[in-house]
Structure 1
Amino acid sequence: MRLADKVAIVTGGASGIGRAIARLFAREGAKVVIGDLTEAVREGGAPTAQVIAGDGGTARFRICDVARKADVDALVAAAVAEFGRLDIMVNNAATLGAGTGLLETTEQDWDHVMAVNAKGVFLGCQAAVRQFLTQPVVDEARGRIVNISSQHGMVAAPGKIAYGTGKAAVVYLTRQIAVDHAKDHIICNAVAPGRILTGKPLGGPGSDPLEYSRMRTPMPRLGRPDDVARAALFLASAEATYVTGHNLMVDGGWMAY
C-alpha cells in the first residue's frame, strides 16, 4: 500500500494509460479523483471509477477539459473539498489531433493539440502547486507531480508535428517546475511512454504505426498501460526519495536504439 491515505488526481483517467494509473493507485491505497471529458472507456468496459469502487477502492469522476483553467481549478478544488488535501497530480490527458506533418497541419488543429497537451499540463501543474504550497511536508514532500510525456518529446514523431511539439513542452515544464519548486518540497517528474497499446488511434493516412513501432522497439513486445502505471506509481510514492526533474523512459529501449 505505497499510497495509503494519499489523494491523487489523474487527468484523462477514463481510458488507456490514465485508467491503468488510476486503478493501480487505488489498489495501492490512494483516493483517486479522475478528470476526463467522459466516463466512456475507449477500450470498452465499465467506467474507471466504478471498477475501482467494485475492487474496494475509493474513486470519484469529474468532467474536466484540461484546456480550460476553470475546469482544472475546479477539479483540484473538488478533490481537496472532499478529501482534505492533494498529494499527487498526474497530468495524463492528451490528444493526438489530426496526426499530420508541417504542411498538412491546420492552425486549428495545432491550437487544439497545444491547448490539451501543453497548456493542459501547465494548468494542471499550476493548480497542483498552488494547493501544495498550502500543505505541510509529509514524507519529504508537500506534493508530487507526475506528467505523462512521450519519447516523441525528444525525438521526431513522423507525421505528428503538433503532438511531438506538445510533448516536448511537457518535458521542459517538468524540469522547470522541479527546479523552481524544489525548495518548497514539491517533486515534479515525468514518465515518457514508448508505443503503448491502448485504444488511441495513431498514424496518418497510409501509415502503419504498429509496424514502425515494432521496428523501433528493441524489446520483443510493445508496451501495455500497466507498464506506464508502475513507473508513475514509483514517482508518485515516497520510494522516489531523491528524484525530481526526471523524465523516466518506459519505452522498451526505443530511445536506446
Structure 2
Amino acid sequence: MNQPQNTPRIALVTGAASGIGRAIAERLAIDAHAVVCIVDRDAQGARDAAEHIAGQGGSAHPFCADMADAQAIQAMLGEVRNQVGAPDMVVNCAGVAPTAPVLEHSMSQWQSTLDINVTAPFLIVQQCLADMKRKGWGRIVNIASISGVRAGSGRLAYGTSKAALIALTRQFAVEAAEWGVTVNAVAPGPVETPLIKKMAGGDSTSTYANLVPMNRFGTPDEIAHAVLFLLSEQASYITGETLAVDGGFLASGLFVRNLFEGAPRASGAATDSH
C-alpha cells in the first residue's frame, strides 16, 4: 500500500481478535505499516492480537467494545481518538451469524443481528467520516457476505443484514466520494473460520465447498489481501462497490461438478440450425 503521507495511517478494525478481522489487522500493520486499532468484545483476544502484531514489528492497540451496544461503540471511538488519533481507515468486520429456519427465527436473533451487522457499522462510519472529510482522505471497507447477494437456507437475519450492509456501503459512498473518501464492501464466500464453519454445519463443510467452483474454502489472508487493495491508493477511483472473494460462487449460477464425466461426447459439428 502506498503511503501518501510521512506519518503512518491509523486503521480501525472491528472483530479483529480472530478470524478474518485478525488477518486484516495483521496485514495492515505488517504489510501496510499502519497503526492498527484492534476492536473486539473479547478484551483478552484483542490484547493477544495486538501483542502478536507487536512481536512481528507492527504497531497495534487493543480496544474492547460490544458492537450491540451503541453507547459502548461511542465510548470506544472516543478512546481511540484520545489514545491513538482519528482513524484514516475503517474496516467493519465484527459480525454474528445465527442460523435457523424462517419460522423459528426469534425476535432477539433478528434484532441483535441487525444491531451488530448493520447499526454498528453505521455508527462507526458516520462518526469517523467527519474526520476523514476534514483531512480530505479516507478508506472504509465493510465486510459483507455472499449471503447478502444470494439467499440461502437458514440465513433470514444474517442474509438480510448483509444485504443491508451492502446498501449502506453504497449510500455512504455516494455522499463521501467528493471528500476523497472511498467506501466499499468485500463479500467473502465460505472461509476457514470458526464462525463460517459453524454456519456450514461443522461436518458438512465439504458439501459447501463442493458448491464453490474452486472446490475449497477460502482463507482469512485471501480476504485480507482484497481488503488491503480497497484500502490502498491503487483503489482510489473505486467506491460503492462490493467485491466478492468467493472462489467463483456468485458467478457460477447452476454449478454441477463433474457434469461431463462419463457423458457421451458430441462428434462432429451440429447440423440443426435451431
Deviations 1:171-213 (A, max 9, x none): 0001111012212222100111000011214238x78541332
What displacement does 1:56 show?
A: 1.3
Are residue 114 (structure 1) and residue 114 (structure 2) matched?
A: yes
- SS of equivalent residue, structure 2 residue 234: coil
Q: In structure 1, what is the Cα distance between the partners aligned to 2:199 and 2:71?
A: 32
Cα gap change, 1:71 to 1:209, in 2 (>3 Å): farther
Q: Distance in 1 between matches of 2:13 and 2:166?
A: 18
Aligned to 1:89: 90
Provide the secondary structure at the position in 2 that maps to 1:230. helix
Give me the whole-angstrom Cα distance separating, in 1, the residues matched to 2:173 and 2:251: 25
Give the whole-Å Cα distance in 1 for the aligned partners of 2:73 and 2:131: 12
In structure 1, distance between residues paired with 2:221 and 2:202: 26
Does 2:24 align with 1:21? yes
The answer to whether 1:37 aligns with 2:36 is: no
> Conserved in 2, the CA contact under 8 Å of 1:39 and 1:48?
no
Query: For the residues of structure 1 that align with 2:71 and 2:90, how far apart are their CA atoms?
Result: 17
Write the distance in 1 (CA, Å) between the matches of 2:41 and 2:85. Answer: 24
Bigger Rg, which one? 2
Relative distance call for 1:167 and 1:130 in structure 2 (3 A) is same
Q: Which amino acid counterpart does residue 48 of structure 1 have in structure 2?
A: A
Q: Structure 1 residue 92: deviation in Å?
A: 0.5
What's the counterpart of residue 123 of structure 1? 123
Q: Which runs of 4+ in 1 moved over 6 A?
A: none
SS in 1 for 2:73: helix
Aligned partner of 1:69 in structure 2 is: 70
Structure 2 counterpart SS, 1:180: helix
For residue 119 of structure 1, give the secondary structure of its aligned residue in structure 2.
Answer: helix
AA in 2 matched with 1:136: K
Of 10, 14, 23, 1:7 maps to 10
Find the counterpart in structure 1 of residue 105 from structure 2: 105
| Equivalence for 2:53 | 52
8 Å Cα contact 1:88-1:144 kept in structure 2:
yes
Letter in 2 for 1:153: G
Question: Which of 241, 245, 249 lines up with 2:240 in the alignment?
Answer: 245
* Residue of structure 2 aligned with 1:202, choices 189, 198, 201: 198
* RMSD across aligned positions (CA): 2.0
Relative to 1, partners in 2 of residues 1:231 and 1:109: Cα closer, same or farther, differing over 3 Å?
A: same
Query: 1:136 is matched with which residue?
Result: 135
Letter in 2 for 1:238: E
**Displacement, 1:5?**
0.4
Q: Which amino acid aligns with 1:25?
A: L
Scaled by the length of structure 1, the TM-score of the pair is 0.90
| Whole-Å separation in 1 of the counterparts to 2:204 and 2:11 | 33
Structure 1's 64 and 162: CA in aligned 2 closer, same or farther, altered over 3 A?
same
Q: What amino acid is the match of 1:15? A: S
Say whether the 8 Å CA contact 2:147–2:155 is kept in structure 1.
no
TM score, norm. by length of structure 2: 0.84
Partners of 1:86 and 1:96 in 2: how far apart? 27
CA contact (8 A) 1:149 1:191 kept: yes
Question: Which is worse superposed, 31-40 or 142-151?
Answer: 31-40
Instruction: State the one-letter code of the partner of 2:23.
Output: A
Contact 1:203–1:209 (CA under 8 A) maintained in structure 2: no
Equivalent residue, structure 1, for 2:228: 233
Greater percentage in helix:
2
Match of 1:184 in 2: 179
CA distance in 1 between partners of 2:193 and 2:168 (Å): 25
Q: Secondary structure at 1:202's aligned position in 2?
A: helix
Amino acid at match of 2:41: L
Unaligned runs of 5+ in 1: none
> What is the alpha-carbon distance in structure 2 between the residues aligned to residue 73 and residue 172 of structure 1?
23
Q: Compute the displacement of 1:126 (Å).
A: 1.3
Within a 5 Å distance, the mapping from 1:214-229 to structure 2 comes to 214-229=209-224
Instruction: Return the alpha-carbon distance in structure 2 between the equivalents of residues 63 and 187 of structure 1.
Output: 26
Structure 2: segments with no counterpart, 5+ residues: 253-274
d(CA) in 1 for partners of 2:202, 2:101: 12
Residues 1:116 and 1:252: Cα distance change in structure 2 (over 3 Å)? same
